[in-house]
A and B are shown apart, each in its own frame.
Chain A
Amino acid sequence: MLYREAGEFRTSYPDDSQTFPIAFDKFRYYAILAVLFVGVPFIVNDYWANAVLVPVLVWSIAALGLNILTGYCGQISLGTGGFMAVGAYSCYKLMTAFPDLNVVFCIFLSGFVTALVGIVFGVPSLRIKGFYLAVATLAAQFFLVWLFNGVPWFYNYSASGQITVPERTVFGIAVTGPYTEPWAKYLICMFFVFVLAWLARNLTRSSVGRSWMAIRDMDIAAEIIGVNPLKAKLQAFAVSSFFVGISGALFFSVYLGAVEASEAFGINQSFLVLFMVIIGGLGSIFGSFAGAAFIVLLPVLLKNLLVGRLSWPTDIATNSEFIIVGALIIFFLIVEPHGLAHLARLFKEKLRLWPFPH
Chain B
Amino acid sequence: PWLSYRTGPFSPSGIPAGDGFHDYFSLLNERDGGIGGVPINVIDCETAYNTQKGVECYESTKGQGSLLYQPLSTGITYQLIPKGTAEGIPIFSMGYGRTAAADGRYFPWVFNFPAHYWDGASIAIKHILDLNGGDIAGKKITLVHLNAAYGREPIPTLQALAEVHGFEVDFVPIDFASSQEQKSQWLDIRRKKPDYILMWGWGIMNAVAIQEAANIRYPMENFIGIWWSGSENDVLPAGERAHGYKALALHRPGKGAPIFDDLQEYVFDKGLAAGTGEHAGTVLYNRGAYGAMLTAEAIKTAQEIHGVAEITPAMMRDGLENLVMTEEKMAANGFPNFGPSFAVSCENHGGGGEAWIQQWDAHATEWKLITDLIQSDKELINRLVREDAEKYAAENNIEPRDC
Q: Are B156 and A159 touching (Cβ within 8 A)?
A: yes
Which residues of B lie under 8 Å from residue A167 when comparing CB positions? 396-397
* In-complex Cβ contact of A178 among B83, B98, B148 (8 A): B83
Stretch binding the partner chain, chosen from B26-34, B51-59, B217-225, B373-381: B51-59
If the complex has contacts A164-B395, A318-B6, A318-B46, are A262 and B79 also in contact, measured as CB distance less than 8 A? no
**B153 interface residue, CB < 8 Å from A?**
yes
**B164 interface residue, CB < 8 Å from A?**
no
Q: Are A315 and B15 touching (Cβ within 8 A)?
A: yes
Q: Are B83 and A149 touching (Cβ within 8 A)?
A: no
Interface readout for A250-267 with B: 1 if CB under 8 Å, 0 if not?
000001111110111011
If the complex has contacts A159-B100, A164-B396, are A262 and B176 also in contact, measured as CB distance less than 8 A? yes
Which B residue sits closest to A299, measured CB to CB? B53
Q: Are B85 and A264 touching (Cβ within 8 A)?
A: no
Which B residue sits closest to A49, measured CB to CB? B59
**A317 interface residue, CB < 8 Å from B?**
yes
Q: Are A146 and B175 touching (Cβ within 8 A)?
A: yes
Which residues of B lie under 8 Å from residue A118 when comparing CB positions? none
If the complex has contacts A160-B78, A264-B51, A315-B7, are A47 and B396 also in contact, measured as CB distance less than 8 A? no
**B44 interface residue, CB < 8 Å from A?**
yes
Q: How far is the CA of A102 from the CA of B6 in the complex (A)?
A: 42
* In-complex Cβ contact of B82 among A51, A257, A267, A313 (8 A): A257
Which residues of B lie under 8 Å from residue A315 when comparing CB positions? 6-7, 11, 15, 46
Q: Is the interface of A mostly helix, strand, loop or mixed?
A: helix
Q: Are A159 and B153 touching (Cβ within 8 A)?
A: yes
Which residues of A lie under 8 Å from residue B149 when comparing CB positions? 160-162, 260, 263
**A13 interface residue, CB < 8 Å from B?**
no
Which residues of A lie under 8 Å from residue B147 when comparing CB positions? 146, 149-150, 262
B381-400 contacts to A, CB under 8 A, are 388, 391-392, 395-397
If the complex has contacts A160-B98, A317-B46, are A51 and B391 also in contact, measured as CB distance less than 8 A? no
Q: Are A159 and B99 touching (Cβ within 8 A)?
A: yes
Which B residue sits closest to A260, measured CB to CB? B149
If the complex has contacts A159-B156, A160-B152, A160-B153, are A47 and B60 also in contact, measured as CB distance less than 8 A? yes
Which residues of A lie under 8 Å from residue B364 when comparing CB positions? none
**B86 interface residue, CB < 8 Å from A?**
yes
Interface readout for A143-185 with B: 1 if CB under 8 Å, 0 if not?
0001001100000101111101011000000000111000000
Which A residue sits closest to B146, measured CB to CB? A262
**A223 interface residue, CB < 8 Å from B?**
no
Which residues of B lie under 8 Å from residue A55 when comparing CB positions? 52, 56
**B352 interface residue, CB < 8 Å from A?**
no
- CB pairs A–B below 8 angstroms (19 shown): A47-B59, A51-B55, A159-B388, A160-B98, A162-B78, A164-B78, A164-B82, A164-B395, A178-B82, A178-B83, A178-B86, A258-B79, A258-B82, A263-B75, A263-B149, A304-B60, A314-B4, A315-B46, A318-B46
**CB-CB nearest 6 A-B residue pairs:** A315-B6, A178-B82, A178-B86, A51-B59, A314-B46, A160-B149
Interface residues of A (CB under 8 A from B): 46-47, 50-51, 55, 96, 142, 146, 149-150, 156, 158-162, 164, 166-167, 177-179, 255-260, 262-264, 266-268, 299-300, 303-304, 307, 313-315, 317-319, 322
Interface residues of B (CB under 8 A from A): 4, 6-7, 11, 15, 44-46, 48, 50-53, 55-56, 59-60, 62-63, 75, 78-79, 81-83, 85-86, 98-100, 147-149, 152-153, 156, 173, 175-177, 274, 388, 391-392, 395-397
| Given A318-B48, A322-B7, 14 further pairs, Cβ under 8 A | A47-B60, A50-B59, A51-B56, A55-B56, A150-B147, A150-B173, A160-B149, A160-B153, A164-B82, A167-B396, A178-B82, A258-B82, A264-B51, A268-B50
